[in-house]
């Protein structure tokens, strides 16, 4: 029998941060806890919100429509879900259904690679939440008591890591602008919610994993287990479900123990000019996040040396926001392919 009172009591937490900043590693560590429901990355809440936000009263027809819509959402095909049980749970809610309760049922019916017992909290991870701030605002509106774990990484190492993948591109100024914009906007939004906000640097997580994970568990109100740091031992289970080439392309480090090997690589791999540009673009946000800038430019050099490249990136960001606001359907990935192709045509170097 579905216990609605217990369902309402289970809170949400969200892991946010730029791509390639350790958010997947952290979400996997927390998924290794028996008390968490922590599915693979997907903006299912946001997409379903735009489809069903106006529903006030639920009947069987709407509940079945909701159920069918779940499996049409981007990336949801990567989830292993107990579909029969999920459908049964949704219909069992009946007139007691709310959007929040329905969303929780999706997450609770996700089948993890880790053993679960007595789920007390639901987790969600998506780098997009730290950049499209309106989506993070929606999440906090739906789940006002949700806790936010904000993970960041040195913007210079972040740029090097972004160079290894084929999303968002490898243009230094744009990557640094996104880092700065994301960091500032998240801090601004969470300024008045200190009890719900946990800030964590990637460097601290990999250098002191046991301490940091214990602190996060305390923040979330779950019990820490040392086995959480052995999350990487699920490799065979993961590869039995997902294509090995894709898994290893983007997340090969997930199947290795936590390592400090990727800290400070920028000191050897970036040129003085690149370091200068990165430090100038990120500016004071670097210091607020706990990173030391190597170069602080004079006003003359800042404007004449960096301004053209910075304006170039700002125009792109404006164009992307303008496109999303006026042409991209709400809660849709439509158009992302063409936008990505245009991006690489302009920025790829």
Number of H helices, E strands in the chain: 19, 5
Percent of the chain beyond pLDDT 70? 79
318 falls within a domain? yes
Tokens 């740029």 belong to residue: 159
pLDDT digits (tens, 9 = 90+) for 131-150: 889 999 999 999 999 999 99
43 falls within a domain? no
95, pLDDT greater than 80: yes
Nearest-CA neighbor of 63 among 149, 141, 2?
A: 2
73 falls within a domain? no
65 falls within a domain? no
Instruction: Kindly tell me the burial class for residue 21, based on how many C-beta atoms sit within 10 Å of its own C-beta (0-12, 13-18, 19 or more).
Output: buried
What is the CA 83 to chain-centroid distance, rounded?
Answer: 25
Q: DSSP strand E in 189-321: where?
A: 197-201
208 falls within a domain? yes
344, pLDDT greater than 50: no
Query: Which pLDDT value is given to residue 276?
Result: 87
Domain count, the chain: 1
Phi, psi of 97 (to 5 degrees): -70, 140
pLDDT digits (tens, 9 = 90+) for 9-42: 999 999 999 998 999 999 999 999 999 999 988 8
44 falls within a domain? no
71, pLDDT greater than 50: yes
70, pLDDT greater than 80: yes
Q: Which of 39-48, 84-93, 145-154 shows the lowest mean pLDDT across its residues?
A: 39-48
Q: Identify the CATH number of the domain in which residue 9 sits.
A: 3.40.50.300
192 falls within a domain? yes
What's the CA gap between 62 and 5, in Å, rounded? 22
273 falls within a domain? yes
Query: Which pLDDT value is given to residue 270?
Result: 95
Which structural domain, as residue segments, surrounds residue 125? 4-38+112-347
309, pLDDT greater than 90: no
pLDDT tier at 87, thresholds 50, 70, 90 = very high
pLDDT digits (tens, 9 = 90+) for 151-184: 999 999 999 998 887 666 668 888 888 899 999 9
Average pLDDT over residues 63-74: 94
61, pLDDT greater than 60: yes
What's the CA gap between 34 and 224, in Å, rounded? 10
pLDDT tier at 342, thresholds 50, 70, 90 = very low
What's the CA gap between 316 and 111, in Å, rounded? 39
- Expressed in percent and rounded to 5, the helix, strand and coil fractions of the chain are 60, 5, 30
Write the DSSP string, 176-224. Answer: HHHHHHHHHHHHHHHTT-GGGEEEEEHHHHHHSHHHHHHHHHHHHT---
Contact 41, 251 (CB under 8 A): no
pLDDT tier at 129, thresholds 50, 70, 90 = very high
């Amino acid at each position: 029998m579905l216990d609605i009172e217990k369902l309402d009591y289970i809170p949400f937490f969200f892991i946010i941060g730029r791509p390639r900043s350790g958010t997947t590693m952290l979400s996997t560590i927390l998924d290794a806890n028996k008390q968490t429901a922590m599915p693979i990355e997907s903006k299912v809440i946001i997409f379903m919100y735009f489809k069903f936000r106006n529903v006030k009263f639920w009947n069987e027809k709407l509940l079945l429509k909701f159920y069918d819509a779940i499996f049409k959402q981007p990336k949801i095909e990567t989830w292993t879900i107990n579909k029969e049980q999920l459908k049964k749970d949704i219909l069992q809610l009946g007139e007691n259904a709310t959007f929040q309760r329905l969303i929780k049922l999706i997450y609770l019916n996700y089948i993890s690679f880790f053993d679960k017992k007595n789920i007390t909290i639901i987790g969600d991870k998506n780098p997009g939440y730290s950049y499209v701030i309106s989506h993070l605002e929606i999440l906090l509106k739906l789940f006002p008591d949700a806790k936010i774990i904000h993970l960041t990484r040195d913007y210079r190492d972040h740029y090097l890591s972004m160079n290894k993948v084929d999303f968002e591109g490898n243009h230094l100024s744009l990557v640094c602008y996104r880092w700065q914009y994301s960091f500032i906007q998240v801090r601004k939004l969470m300024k008045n919610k200190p009890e719900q906000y946990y800030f964590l640097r990637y460097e601290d997580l990999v250098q002191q994993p046991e301490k940091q994970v214990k602190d996060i568990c305390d923040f979330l109100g779950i019990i820490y287990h040392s086995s959480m740091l052995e999350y990487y031992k699920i490799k065979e289970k993961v590869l039995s479900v997902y294509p090995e080439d894709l898994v290893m392309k983007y997340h090969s480090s997930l199947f290795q123990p936590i390592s400090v090997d990727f800290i400070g690589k920028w000191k050897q791999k970036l040129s003085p000019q690149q370091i200068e540009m990165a430090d100038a673009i990120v500016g004071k946000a670097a210091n607020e996040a706990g990173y030391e800038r190597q170069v602080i430019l004079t006003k003359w050099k800042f404007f004449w040396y960096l301004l053209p490249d910075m304006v170039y990136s700002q125009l792109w960001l404006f164009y992307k926001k303008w496109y999303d606001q006026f042409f991209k359907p709400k809660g849709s990935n439509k158009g992302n392919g063409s936008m990505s192709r245009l991006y690489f045509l302009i920025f790829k170097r």
